[in-house]
Structure 1
Amino acid sequence: MGWFGGNSAPIKISAVTESPDPSKQPQQYLEDLPPKFEDNGVANQGQGQGQNSQNAGVWEAAMDQFKWSDFTVDRFVGMPCFREAMLTGFQAMGVLGVVTFLIHKNPSRSLNWSIGGFFLGNVVGWEQCRSIRRRSFETVEKARQRKEESNAKKLSLSQDVEDLLLKKFNEVQNHDSSAK
């Protein structure tokens, strides 16, 4: 069970590994590689003329992947940083809306500023929460690695002690059998 009551296991963070030595790989220049995309000038066509059939097919395929079940309250509430982001967004919405209304006495302007503050507050709250969670997971991972290292060190020390005791036992046994 995780921090927020979910039944899923906590996220595992893999250990950082070094990248391979770049001096061992042959250098490749962009001019030597084949192009990844066709240069058919779709991006250069007038965008005010509408979408062509190829772009419409891409949009339809993308929209078909969305389902109404993706937008349920339970799904959003289950996100780890959703609550913090929403609270920060509502606070920013209230502050910016009230302050703008008190200064300018214009309800439409204050409404615009409050909606902008809501979205800005959501983004700030989300990013802060994710940053804190990321650092927390990194700290836990470092502690786990340190614990594994100390356990491995203790195991090697205990094996050395056991080997030494076994060696002394064998010496005593050999000494007793040779004395008879």
Structure 2
Amino acid sequence: MYLNTRALILAATLAVTSPLMAGNLPNPTLDEAKVLAQAQEMQNQTQPEKRKFVKNELALTPEQAEQFWPIYDEHQLALRELNRRRIENILSYARAFNQGSLNDKTANALAREVFDIEKDEVALLKHTYRYASEATSPVQAALYVQIEAKLRARLRFEETDMLPLVK
């Protein structure tokens, strides 16, 4: 399989997911299930570090923290769904690629899902910024969405850097 384990783990690194993340992917293979379990374990280890990093960067007052952390948690929950969709899309692409090529119908569906995920991610950042700026300040909210956007951009780069081009 061209798409290696590292690519899928990187795709899942920021997700808070269940071991059955690929629940909407028909018939996950044993290798896919193993990668998803590894991604879950990695997430369990990295999520507290991410929260600590955000906490240190934002330097919230106790009052701000009380209002901000539920917004953060909601954002992370929404990221879970985006990451699930992204990983399923990558797995679907890997399956098609490994079969030799993409047909037009599959390529169209995969591309549209990429666009939809990106659109939903921007909408999520806008939503989070709106509420975080009311809970903290516009500067702190901008910093938070900047942190999230940078992490997501790095994740997308790592994913796409490892994916072969469509043939």
Q: TM-score, normalised by structure 2?
A: 0.29
Which has the greater radius of gyration? 1
Q: TM-score, normalised by structure 1?
A: 0.28
Of structures 1 and 2, the one with the larger relative CO (CA 8 A, separation 6+) is: 2
